[in-house]
Amino acid sequence: NFKRPATTASATYSTGGGGGCTCTSKKLEGKVALITGGASGLGKATAGEFLRHGARVVIADLDAETGVKAAKELGSAVEFVRCDVTVEGDIAEAVEMTVERYGKLDVMYNNAGIVGPMTPASISELDMMEFERVMRINVFGVVSGIKHAAKFMIPARSGCILCTSSVAGVTGGLAPHSYTISKFKIPRIVKSVASELCEHGVRINCISPSAVATPLTLRYLQKVFPKVTEEKLRETVNGMGELKGAECEEADVAKAALCLVSDDCKYVTGHNLVVDGGMTAFKIAGF
Ligand code: NAD
């Protein structure tokens, strides 16, 4: 009889009757988080979730117009900084600006990403320039974010880094090759870096969502199915999970991200958390 708790500004919620637990804690009270790609979709939803749990949030994004609007919408504890994750200097500046402004960086969320071109589908026709562009944002941008966050977190001997992968990087075959290859790399990068950061008390994990009805997914699908609406997309993605009675909204991914960066997961590092409603845990017919 679990009821999805209503989201409240104080992050106070209850599981309702039946003697369930009541959560009144703010999981990121006093923490400072920087989120790349925070102007839209999953990054924006996560900024909202971190905020409700007491964090001050800086959203770093290429799209200044959407970023400024998002920061305004989210409230006074959120700031926007323009940042292109393919430019190392931009990431360095975003991190430095956050530390100068708030005195520290507790959470670095390397989330910005693109899908890239939908076609051609065949590896034999892969456009290597496009491949490089996708890798530059989805992989270089993530590594660069890790590097510059680590510069502050290692001497501070604390901090938590999160990166966004995808179920596309778990199964293969769900998205164009460039995107899939880029997302496959993220859990390996995380594992590699975790082995060094452990000794400094810094955690690093990644999250692999299945399809969520964000602007990224809509843009990507509309290239092939121009008539797809956001409503239809939500219906479709919610039919992709195997978990009965569960529907995936941006907030569900944001809550999983919160869990990974909060002290609820203080013994978890080098992990890839798949958030897919059982999509990759399907049952083969007859078994
Ligand atoms: P989105 O398009 O809604 O948001 C992505 C944001 O990243 C945008 O605000 C965009 O301006 C920003 N961005 C793009 N290039 C950038 C750059 N070079 N520098 C800085 N910012 C840049 O997309 P989303 O669906 O919220 O995706 C967020 C992350 O989640 C991506 O890494 C994506 O691959 C991943 N993901 C999404 C889904 C999904 O179904 N939506 C599923 C799995 C993984």
* Residue-wise pLDDT tens digits, 114-123: 998 776 678 9
Q: Using CA atoms, how far apart are residues 222 and 248, in angstroms rounded to an integer?
A: 20
Q: Using CA atoms, how far apart are residues 261 and 269, in angstroms rounded to an integer?
A: 10
User: Which residue puts its alpha carbon closest to atom 41 of ligand 1?
Assistant: 212
Q: How would residue 186 be classed by pLDDT, with cut points 50, 70 and 90?
A: very high
Structure confidence at residue 224 (pLDDT): 81
Residue 190, ligand 1, Cβ within 6 A: no
For 36-73, the pLDDT digits (tens) are: 999 999 999 999 999 999 999 999 999 999 999 999 99
C-alpha angle 116-121-123 in degrees, rounded to nearest 5: 95
For 18-35, the pLDDT digits (tens) are: 334 445 689 999 999 999
Q: Using CA atoms, how far apart are residues 106 and 158, in angstroms rounded to an integer?
A: 7
pTM comes to 0.92
The closest-lying atom of ligand 1 relative to the alpha carbon of residue 115 is 34
- The whole-angstrom distance between residue 235's C-alpha and the CA centroid of its chain comes to 22
Q: How would residue 1 be classed by pLDDT, with cut points 50, 70 and 90?
A: very low
Q: Using CA atoms, how far apart are residues 259 and 285, in angstroms rounded to an integer?
A: 33
Quote the tokens at residue 277. 């409603």
Q: Using CA atoms, how far apart are residues 205 and 1, in angstroms rounded to an integer?
A: 31
Tell me, in angstroms, the distance from the centre of ligand 1 to residue 12's CA. Answer: 29
Structure confidence at residue 173 (pLDDT): 87
Question: Is 109 within 8 Å of 186 (Cβ atoms)?
Answer: no
